[in-house]
Amino acid sequence: EAGVTQFPSHSVIEKGQTVTLRCDPISGHDNLYWYRRVMGKEIKFLLHFVKESKQDESGMPNNRFLAERTGGTYSTLKVQPAELEDSGVYFCASSQSRSGYTFGSGTRLTVV
Amino acid sequence: GEDVEQSLFLSVREGDSSVINCTYTDSSSTYLYWYKQEPGAGLQLLTYIFSNMDMKQDQRLTVLLNKKDKHLSLRIADTQTGDSAIYFCAEIWGTPLVFGKGTRLSVIA
């Protein structure tokens, strides 16, 4: 079974630019989550999709972040315009149950 | 809101046991997890324990849960250099997972 795939693995962009991160969940997993770890801090929840619907987006930091999951398959997370404090590692996870979260390798975003 | 606390660093000698501790605040937690992150890799689920259990053992890993004190620990027996990584404690009641800051385990050969 293929795992959760994220790309790019690394992205370095200038402040003010736009970046789009992509997550391909495990096939058949209805739940898809985005998390973020800023340097040295906790891994924090951003949002949760159930199929194509946003179940919970309470962790999204501000309106510069836009997540989509068209068709209930892969998801994208766009940051526009990027700010320095957006730097961190963005993790995606998928699950069918609460005991079965599988995380991707993460995208390391650096905003300079 | 929920909070999960871990010590940030732990250093042990190869062959010794490692014990990583975690405290949490949400008494409604249903599952508690330990994840491992190796350099450049994603979060790997090591083990989890349901809140009505006190202990779970899986090969070299032993998880102890003291629900009264809201304390979770992960013991790694016979620690190897390949165990060097960041270990995250996480808990869940509804969704989402709430993580600690992670404990960086360094294994000295």
Mark yes or no for CB contact B99/A101 under 8 Å: no
Given pLDDT bands bounded at 50, 70 and 90, which one contains residue B1?
A: low
Residue B41 is predicted with a pLDDT of: 83
**pLDDT tens per residue across span B17-44:** 999 999 998 878 788 999 999 987 888 9
Between A97 and B17, residue with greater pLDDT = B17
Say how many C-beta atoms besides its own lie within 10 A of residue A18's C-beta.
11
Helix (H, G, I), strand (E, B) or coil at A84: helix
Residue B21 to residue B64: CA distance in whole angstroms = 10
Mark yes or no for CB contact B99/A43 under 8 Å: yes
Which chain B residues in 20-79 lie under 8 Å from chain A, judged by CB atoms? 30-31, 33, 35, 40-45, 48
Say whether pLDDT at B108 is over 70.
yes
Nearest Cα neighbor of B83 from B64, B104, B63 is B104
Mark yes or no for CB contact A56/B41 under 8 Å: no
Query: How is residue B96 annotated by DSSP?
Result: S
- Residue B100: what residue type? G
Say whether pLDDT at A98 is over 70.
no
Q: For all residues of chain B together, what is the average pLDDT?
A: 91
Would you call A55 exposed, middle or buried from its count of C-beta atoms within 10 A (0-12, 13-18, 19+)?
middle
Say whether pLDDT at A100 is over 80.
no
Residue A46 to residue B87: CA distance in whole angstroms = 21
Find the largest Cα–Cα distance for chain A. 39
Which residues of chain B make contact with A91, given a CB cutoff of 8 A? 42-43
